[in-house]
Amino acid sequence: MRTLLIAGNWKMNGSLALVDAFARAFASVKLPARVEVALMVPFPYLGVAAETFQETPLTVGAQTLSDRSSGAFTGEVSGAMLVDVGARLVLVGHSERRSLFGEDDAAVLARVQAALEHGLRPVLCLGETLEEREAGRTESVVIGQLAAVCDALDPAERARLVLAYEPVWAIGTGRTASPEQAQAVHSAIRGRLAAYSPALAEGMQILYGGSMKAANAGELLAQPDIDGGLVGGAALQVDDFLAICQSAG
Ligand code: 13P
């Protein structure tokens, strides 16, 4: 039985006060069995979040990392630094990184490899645009993004990934994929993983992201191949995020 992971992605939002509000709310919360919760916070809040969340079930993650280990790369943050301040997970290949910051498949692979090298769990994001969906290319795009990374990893490395299917047209739009639409893509992803190894396919956590909120989380998380959520807007309100975590039981 796979564990469910609910991960909040604050993007370029949040504050020290919000870190504190999450720490207080989650200190006394009883989560359903089989549910893990993580918050991907902006770089400046990582260290304090890791410390403040120690008495809570919350794990801390970053939203990106450099593909280099150290050196003269002004403004970049390495995997080693993320580990140093207590991050355990890192998003890689989020559609905003791909579309706004020019990260192509090669750049995504390099960041996954950097994360693995430093002992971080990469949460590899995959997803098609509306245009690609309407052209009937959803599966080929998503599987192409998956293969661009997984083909280059060895089996032990593949097993350390978490995947997140985030249809670009559902991110921040209020337009969620239906449970059937999401399940169909998750099932295709798991099918492709089985070509590497049935055990990999069976064990892989595949999260859904894109306008997930308390009102739709339950039916999405009830799908057989959806193993959690990657939550943007609704992860900025403690009560909304807690409600999603509770609905994962
Ligand atoms: P929203 O939940 O705001 O649609 O964002 C999803 C997302 O991009 C999480 O990484």
pLDDT tens-digit series, residues 77-124? 999 999 999 999 999 999 999 999 999 999 999 999 999 999 999 999
> Residue 229 C-alpha to ligand 1 middle, in angstroms?
9
Single out the catalytic residue among 94, 96, 118, 186.
Answer: 94
CATH, residue 199: 3.20.20.70
Q: Which domain holds residue 174?
A: 4-247
Spatial distance between the Cα atoms of 196 and 179, rounded to a whole number of angstroms: 26
What residue's CA is closest to ligand 1, atom 2?
A: 232
Nearest protein CA to atom 1 of ligand 1, as residue: 232
Predicted confidence band of residue 27 (pLDDT cuts 50, 70, 90): very high
> 0.95 cut: is pTM over it?
yes
- Structural domain count, the chain: 1
Find out whether the beta carbon of 212 lies less than 6 Å from any atom of ligand 1: yes
Q: Is the pLDDT of residue 219 over 90?
A: yes
Question: Does 94 participate in catalysis according to the annotation?
Answer: yes
Q: Using the atom order of ligand 1, give the atom closest to the CA of residue 211.
A: 4
Cα-trace Rg, the chain = 17
What spacing in Å lies between the alpha carbon of 152 and ligand 1's midpoint? 27
Q: Does pLDDT of 192 surpass 80?
A: yes
Contact 81, 70 (CB under 8 A): no
pLDDT at 249 over 90: no
- Annotated catalytic residue: which of 55, 166, 180, 219? 166
- Cα distance between residue 57 and residue 31, in whole Å: 8
The pairs formed by 27-32 with CB atoms below 8 angstroms and a separation of 24 or more are: 27/55, 27/56, 29/56, 29/57, 29/242, 29/245, 31/57, 31/245, 31/246, 31/249, 32/245, 32/246, 32/248, 32/249
Percentage of the chain exceeding pLDDT 70: 100
Task: Give the closest residue (by CA) to ligand 1 atom 7.
Answer: 232
Q: Which atom of ligand 1 is nearest the CA belonging to 233? A: 3
Per-residue pLDDT for 170 more than 80?
Answer: yes
Taking the centre of ligand 1 as the mean of its atom positions, its distance from the CA of residue 119, in whole angstroms, is 25
What does the mean pLDDT of the chain come to?
97
Q: What pLDDT, on the 0 to 100 scale, is given for residue 1?
A: 81
How many Cβ atoms from other residues are within 10 Å of residue 202's Cβ? 11
How far, in Å, from the CA of 134 to the mean position of ligand 1? 21
| Confidence bin at 248 (pLDDT 50/70/90) | confident
